Structure 1
Amino acid sequence: MELDRADLVLLDALQRDGRATIQSLSELVNLSARATLNRVRKLEAQGVIEGYRAVIDRRALGEPICVFAEVALKDQRQPVVQRFEKKMATAPEVVACHVISGRYDYLVRIACPHLENYHRLISAWLDDPALGIEKIVTNIELQTIREFAGFPVPRPPRRH
């Protein structure tokens, strides 16, 4: 889908504040509230906007530990890969999972209440032969400098 200047401005604004009012968005793009609402609905219907969510302060949840786990699988056969990826997609502790290049197959970000919970979790994964995990290398997050806040939206072309 081709995104025009107004679409890019709307996406940038909504990514920063998903609760922005249609009125405030319409002022940003210099369109009527109705035209702006129609654009937002179109972006949602086309899957450009996948959803909205609240960003929660981790401290309110008891400051869970976050771990980056580099995971290598024993083999790359589709049934093994599919079982592993299904497990990652459904495990509540997994907050992100990425296929990566290099020595490991996946980078998994995990949040657990305590290190003991993390240890039990990965021990269960390693003990499950269906997941096909060869090795997990753990990197504990000590401090978050910048949390994911969305993808960079291209700057719209300037009007003359």
Structure 2
Amino acid sequence: MANVGIDPVDRRILRALQEDGRMTVQALAEKVGLSPSPCLRRVRQLERAGVISGYSANIEQKAVGLPVSVFISIKLERQRADNLDTFGAAISRWPEVMECYLMTGKFDFLLRVVCADLEAYEHFLRDRLTQLEGVASIESSFSLGAVKFSRVLPL
């Protein structure tokens, strides 16, 4: 999505909502220097424009029994549009896949998968990834820990 004419006030709103998406309109308005009505109008405009795509809670994956993060590089046998789309559609249905990127370079896709343990990952690998048609190679790298993880864009 192209920049939709975000001005400095919109940027302050976006920064504040990234820090705390649950703040009231009143608190947000005070933080960005507006009265509540114009502030809410701007938030709704940012939502309609697709700049704000949703709101969610950040959940600590270890606290919910999913301490293992695996980065998986996938190479397909063929890189035609229909092969890429078929792969993307399949992995989009799997809740373990937190992120998937179409890549340039040696591999076609990079996935971040979360799971409870190595046994759960083995099941994911055997029962899902290796069952997909057109996958030429799978390379897994296990995260030892996050050095930095952020969903906050540098606005």
2:35 maps to what in 1?
Answer: 32
CA separation in 2, counterparts of 1:91 and 1:100?
19
| Residue identity matched to 2:132 | D
- How much does 1:29 deviate? 2.2
- Return 61-70 or 135-144, whichever deviates more: 61-70
**CA shift digits 1:115-135 (9 cap, x unpaired):** 112122222322332xx1111
2:6 maps to what in 1?
Answer: 3
**CA shift digits 1:44-98 (9 cap, x unpaired):** 1111100000001223212431100011111012221111001122210000011
- How much does 1:2 deviate? 0.3
**What runs of 5+ residues in structure 1 fail to find an aligned partner?**
154-160
Mapped contact 2:71–2:111 kept (Cα < 8 A) = yes
CA separation in 1, counterparts of 2:28 and 2:49?
19
CA separation in 2, counterparts of 1:96 and 1:108?
6
2:154 maps to what in 1?
Answer: 152
Mapped contact 1:26–1:36 kept (Cα < 8 A) = yes
| 1:128 lines up with 2:132 in the alignment | yes
Mapped contact 1:16–1:149 kept (Cα < 8 A) = no
- How much does 1:149 deviate? 2.1
**What runs of 5+ residues in structure 2 fail to find an aligned partner?**
none
| 1:68 lines up with 2:81 in the alignment | no
Mapped contact 1:73–1:133 kept (Cα < 8 A) = yes
Aligned length: 151
CA separation in 1, counterparts of 2:66 and 2:8?
40
| Residue identity matched to 1:120 | H
Mapped contact 2:96–2:115 kept (Cα < 8 A) = yes
Mapped contact 2:76–2:135 kept (Cα < 8 A) = yes
Give the TM-score taking structure 1 as reference length. 0.89
| Residue identity matched to 1:148 | S
Give the TM-score taking structure 2 as reference length. 0.91
Percent sequence identity over aligned pairs = 36
**Aligned ranges for residues 94-105 of structure 1 at < 5 Å?**
94-105=97-108
Please provide the CA RMSD for this pair.
1.3
